[in-house]
Amino acid sequence: MNRLLGRPNADLWGFLLFSHGWSWFFWGIVVVTGWEAFTYPGVVFLVLGGTGPLLGGVVMSGLVGGRAGLRDLGRRIVDPRLVPARWWLITILLVPVITALAAALVAVLGFSSQPVDLAGARELLASPTALFAYVAFVLVLGPIPEEIGWRGFLLDRCQQRWSALVSSVAVGVAWLTWHLPLFAMVGYFAAAGGPPEPFRFTIGIVVASIFYTWLYNNAGRSVLAAIVFHFSQNFTGQFFDLAAETRTVQSLLFVVVAVIIVAGWGQKSLRRDGDRPEPPY
């Protein structure tokens, strides 16, 4: 195993073996058989496949960093004290604020008479049990298992090789391609009315990956902050039924904010002091 990890980029390929190899294997079964994504037995393989990044983050942290790597990962998942208060505010509010601004622009410019449909949100708010189940579903389906891999392991390994900006794009591309089998899976996007438009989906992942790195590098390498930000992004996009025009403007605002972040914090580290946080292994 030591000889394996001594090979060039073995840490990256080892992680991708889990994130893409493991996930695509189980998801491929659902695609090939034509099973529905959220009904038995398809949902079993859907969930198993979704654990790929989590397994990659935990296993590769242990292989590369040993006990120190696992302790470091565990602390970053559960310790909120790593994150300064102002960065918690950004983590929680950035996506909702951008979304609200997009809806306001759509309304003011007359692009749509109903930039946001709140009917579904009102139904969930009327039932605390349903709301709790929905929150748990959104949190477990993506943010927790994904961020333990993407930011818990992969981002650090990329930043040891490249700038924060290049690392953001690299992680974003890996994250984007990881989702591809879901587009061929029967019923996966049924609740959303069909698969997302490719441009918005790409922006929502690759460009948003810059936000994640920016937060991560300024928030003590906190995986917990990445999980919360991921939840904020998913929940905002699913809880509020945004008009197509609103989603398009939201995507454009994501690009604008990403450019501001890179220009203001610097592409090398996305930190004002220029120093990237380093892992202990």
pLDDT by residue (tens digit) across 33-59?
999 999 999 999 999 999 999 999 999
Residue found under tokens 């936000």: 211
**CB 214, CB 117: distance < 8 Å:** no
Q: What is the pLDDT of residue 241?
A: 87
Structure tokens at 135: 């929150």
Q: What is the pLDDT of residue 6?
A: 64
List, for residues 150-169, the tens digit of each pLDDT value: 999 999 999 999 999 999 99
Pairwise CA distance, residues 146 & 152, whole Å: 9
Pairwise CA distance, residues 264 & 147, whole Å: 25
Three-state secondary-structure class, residue 267: coil
List, for residues 182-199, the tens digit of each pLDDT value: 999 999 988 777 788 888
pTM: 0.94
Q: What is the pLDDT of residue 237?
A: 83
* 73 assigned to some structural domain: no
| Amino acid identity for residue 187 in this structure | G
Total count of domains within the chain: 1
* 74 assigned to some structural domain: no
* 124 assigned to some structural domain: yes
| Domain range enclosing 200 | 81-265
* 205 assigned to some structural domain: yes
Burial group, residue 95, by CB count within 10 angstroms (0-12, 13-18, 19+): buried
* 16 assigned to some structural domain: no
* 244 assigned to some structural domain: yes
Pairwise CA distance, residues 275 & 281, whole Å: 17
Pairwise CA distance, residues 230 & 90, whole Å: 12
* 216 assigned to some structural domain: yes
- Distance, first Cα to last Cα, the chain: 17
**CB 41, CB 191: distance < 8 Å:** no
* 109 assigned to some structural domain: yes
Pairwise CA distance, residues 27 & 45, whole Å: 6
Pairwise CA distance, residues 170 & 162, whole Å: 9
Q: What is the pLDDT of residue 121?
A: 85
**CB 257, CB 90: distance < 8 Å:** no
| Torsion angle defined by CA atoms of residues 10, 11, 14 and 19, in that order, rounded to the nearest 10 degrees | -140
DSSP state of 179: T
Q: What is the pLDDT of residue 175?
A: 97
Q: What is the pLDDT of residue 249?
A: 95
Pairwise CA distance, residues 20 & 203, whole Å: 20
